[in-house]
Amino acid sequence: MSTASTAMPIKDLSKERPGATVEGGEEASDRQLAAKAANGCLSSMENLFQTYHTKIYRFLFAKTQIREEAEDLTQDTFLTACRKIHQYNPRYAFSTWLFTIAQRQATSAWRKKRPTTSEFPDLQDISSTPEQQAQASEDKENIWKTAREILNTNQYSAIWLHYVEDMPVAEIAKTLNKTTPGVKLLLFRARKKLQTSFTSQPLKA
């Protein structure tokens, strides 16, 4: 995938607003911006881009582990969203709709090759000392590297959206086009696989 001359300026629009919730004012604002964007308001679409660019990029980078490819997929996600903004259903969270597009963009990349690097972006360390922070960082890298190796694409996406993006199970179900019980089963099986690999450091439910 290549970046076209009409592409959105990813590097210039990388700040996020506070996270939105389905019932919260931010999500209502997202719906309003999406409605304006559907009527041709470019600034509204840019505002949505500013809000979600980092989250979408981080999600796609975790899948591809290649920065250039993640940037291309992120750009393709937003270009697709621009083209199909009139298809967005305001009954659902805008973030769910956007992550669904990103998930579809990432599927082909996931099937073509598996990530090999261990770099993992933007996770918060909660340890109190530098030594503990270093160990915690290494542990997280090992967990997510193992996750990329042993989980299938839906299990990995479900785990990422649940633990990193803090997305509710119902919203994950919409993103992955699964039922809510289906996502709960994906999370259960994913945790079980990871617990088998990290028996001394099981994931919290």
Considering all CA atoms of the chain, what is the largest pairwise distance in Å, rounded to the nearest integer? 54
pLDDT at 133: 46
**Residue whose pair of structure tokens reads 């199909």 in the numeric block:** 84
Q: Judge: domain 17-113, CATH 1.10.1740.10.
A: yes
pLDDT at 28: 65
Q: Tell me the whole-structure pTM to 2 decimals.
A: 0.60
Q: How far is CA 170 from CA 11, 24, 77, 96, 104, in A?
A: 32, 16, 22, 10, 18
pLDDT at 57: 93
Tokens of 121: 């972006």
Give the span between the Cα atoms of 87 and 109, in whole angstroms.
Answer: 25
Return the number of other C-beta atoms located less than 10 Å from residue 15's C-beta.
9
CATH 1.10.10.10 domain locations along the chain = 129-195
pLDDT at 147: 85
CATH 1.10.1740.10 domain locations along the chain = 17-113
**Residue whose pair of structure tokens reads 């970046």 in the numeric block:** 3
Strands (DSSP E) contained in the chain are none
- Residue 186 contacts residue 193 (beta carbons within 8 Å): no
Q: What is the pLDDT of residues 104-144, one digit of tens each?
A: 888 766 666 554 433 333 434 434 444 544 455 555 666 78
Helix, coil or strand: residue 91: coil
pLDDT at 153: 87
The CATH number of the structural domain formed by 129-195 is: 1.10.10.10
What is the rounded (10 degree) CA torsion for 1, 155, 150, 191? 150
Residue ranges in the chain modelled with pLDDT below 50: 1-24, 115-130, 132-134, 202, 204-205
Angle of helix 94-112 relative to helix 25-38, nearest 10 degrees, comes to 80
